[in-house]
Chains A and B, each alone.
Chain A
Amino acid sequence: GQSLEQPSEVTAVEGAIVQINCTYQTSGFYGLSWYQQHDGGAPTFLSYNALDGLEETGRFSSFLSRSDSYGYLLLQELQMKDSASYFCAQSNQAGTALIFGKGTTLSVSS
């Protein structure tokens, strides 16, 4: 099946900026989403890109390059509460089921 590649772990300090990369498979690609999941919790939607470029939502931004089959999530002004797992997810049609990456665990220290 299709797979998305993202780093398994990232560490950073409070106030820093971190970028989580994701590469996806182009077959049938429609859009790339990002979800956040705290330990023991449910995934929550962060951002979505269907077109090339940057989408900004507060401290979080997401970028997509369709020509490179690549996207990233940028987290700025990191806070301790940002410690969580972050998943990129690919959709192959509008409004359909997602194919998730294995997740990146972000640890923010003081």
Chain B
Amino acid sequence: NAGVTQTPKFQVLKTGQSMTLQCAQDMNHNSMYWYRQDPGMGLRLIYYSASEGTTDKGEVPNGYNVSRLNKREFSLRLESAAPSQTSVYFCASSFQETQYFGPGTRLLVL
């Protein structure tokens, strides 16, 4: 039981490049989330998916898109990366009131 996994662990992009952050969970949870964490800002919700086939915007969705591929997988795409998107990205899934986080992806946009 791996819990929530994320790939890649680290990534460096140039401004304007695109990439997809992958997330998968093996706990059969319906809800999944993408957060970003910046120094001194806590975690901020980018997008979430309450169930397979549904996605909703969070607090900071601009510049991102998501796909809930199936119950296990929830990906986050940056179509044209900007330096302001340099951050640590956490994926999470939830059961009742507990959220389970992946190890994070550290993204640097130059």
Write the nearest CB–CB distance from B44 to chain A, whole angstroms.
Answer: 7
Pair A100/B101 contact, Cβ less than 8 Å: no
A87-B43, A97-B33 known; A43-B90 Cβ under 8 A: yes
Q: Does A101 contact B (CB under 8 A)?
A: yes
A96-B31, A98-B45, A100-B44 known; A45-B90 Cβ under 8 A: no
Pair A103/B42 contact, Cβ less than 8 Å: yes
| Residues of B close to A95: CB separation below 8 A | 31, 94-97
Across the interface, name the chain B residue whose C-beta is closest to A48.
Answer: B97
Across the interface, name the chain B residue whose C-beta is closest to A32.
Answer: B97
A1-B59, A95-B31, A97-B58 known; A43-B43 Cβ under 8 A: yes
A87-B42, A102-B40 known; A42-B104 Cβ under 8 A: yes
Q: Does A65 contact B (CB under 8 A)?
A: no
| Residues of B close to A96: CB separation below 8 A | 31, 48, 50
Q: Which of B39-54 contact A (CB under 8 A)?
A: 40-45, 48, 50
Total contacting residues, chain A, CB less than 8 A: 24
Q: Does A91 contact B (CB under 8 A)?
A: yes
Size bracket of the B interface: 20 to 34
Pair B97/A33 contact, Cβ less than 8 Å: yes
- Mask for A67-103, Cβ within 8 A of B = 1, else 0? 0000000000000000000010101001111111111
Q: Which of A36-67 contact B (CB under 8 A)?
A: 41-45, 48, 50
| Residues of A close to B97: CB separation below 8 A | 31, 33, 48, 50, 91, 94-95
| Residues of B close to A97: CB separation below 8 A | 33, 45, 48, 58
| Residues of A close to B104: CB separation below 8 A | 42
Write the nearest CB–CB distance from B16 to chain A, whole angstroms.
Answer: 29
Across the interface, name the chain B residue whose C-beta is closest to A30.
Answer: B97
In the bound complex, how far is the Cα of B42 from the Cα of A101, in angstroms?
6
| Residues of A close to B48: CB separation below 8 A | 96-97
- Residues of chain A having any CB pair with chain B under 8 Å: 1, 31, 33, 35, 41-45, 48, 50, 87, 89, 91, 94-103
Given A42-B103, A97-B33, 11 additional A-B pairs, CB 8 A: A1-B59, A33-B99, A44-B101, A45-B99, A48-B98, A98-B45, A99-B59, A100-B35, A100-B44, A102-B41, A103-B42
